[in-house]
Structure 1
Amino acid sequence: MSWDVGLFKFSRRYTDVSEMPRDEQPSPLGTLSVVQHAVTAVFPGTDWTDPSWGIFGSELGSIEFNVGKDDPVTSVALHVRAGDAIVEGILLLCEKLDCQAIDYSDGSFLEQSAHPAQNLQKWRKYRDQIVAGEN
């Protein structure tokens, strides 16, 4: 279980997913190497033992970066298990890759949000309820 976010580069910047035409196709974020280097620059120590699946862990929490096997990379799925501070890094990664981050929990763009960690907080609350119920 994780809070999931997708990174995409579109033909233009959108403020809401409802603005996107049905035929919108994401542009490449870069080569696999470029994307891996951008991730590692923002999240040092990311393990790329599996080149399609980077794993980052620190005192902030963890993120799994699913970049897939296609080269160039057209999207990155982030599976986040972390505190609010991790969101700053995700937004910085968006700047580095010149892309937008879609919060899969509600379809919003993180960089457009006044409170980009809000759904991460909701996810943690839900996770904590599930874990508490298992005890």
Structure 2
Amino acid sequence: MSWDLLLLPIPAGYASVDGGGERLDVVLNHRPFPSDLATPPLGTHEQVKAALLSQLPSIEFWDTRPWGSLAGPTWSIELNLGSADPVESITLYVRGKVDDALQAVFAIAEAVGCCVINM
């Protein structure tokens, strides 16, 4: 099984996501997330890595790419910080028994102050 997730620092008040066909809209009281609302950056690559490692020290980051990985007994997660600096979002690629990975997924999101969005 696989599961792709987006981590974004969504402002307070936007609490749910509406998959609405082909578009993914974050909604507040059933109103779409404004297209011109910019989310704040998560920090530089080094700041984001430090925040993640402070909560999950077993994450391994590549030296040459903005990627990392974390593995449990029945699952693995690849983290893509993207090439932009500062980091604007994180994409997670969860493989294996995704239900077993939920605790790690939410720990990653909490470490960087993000909401988890199913892609």
TM-score by length of 2: 0.74
Indicate which of 83, 100, 103 corresponds to 1:85.
Answer: 100
Give unpaired runs (5+ residues) of structure 2: 17-25
Indicate which of 30, 46, 50 corresponds to 1:33.
Answer: 46
Q: Percent identity?
A: 33
Indicate which of 70, 75, 85 corresponds to 1:61.
Answer: 75
In structure 2, what is the Cα distance between the partners aligned to 1:90 and 1:8? 13
In structure 2, what is the Cα distance between the partners aligned to 1:79 and 1:102? 12
More helix by share: 1
Q: Which runs of 4+ in 1 moved over 6 A?
A: none
Further displaced range: 85-94 or 75-84: 85-94
Question: Corresponding residue for 1:99?
Answer: 114
TM-score by length of 1: 0.66
Question: Corresponding residue for 2:5?
Answer: 5
Which amino acid in 2 is paired with 1:47? E
Instruction: Report the CA distance between 1:6 and its aligned residue.
Output: 0.6
RMSD of aligned residue pairs (Cα, Å): 2.0
In structure 2, what is the Cα distance between the partners aligned to 1:34 and 1:96? 11
Instruction: Report the CA distance between 1:51 and its aligned residue.
Output: 3.8
Which structure is higher in RCO with an 8 Å CA cutoff and minimum separation 6?
A: 2
How many residues are matched?
104
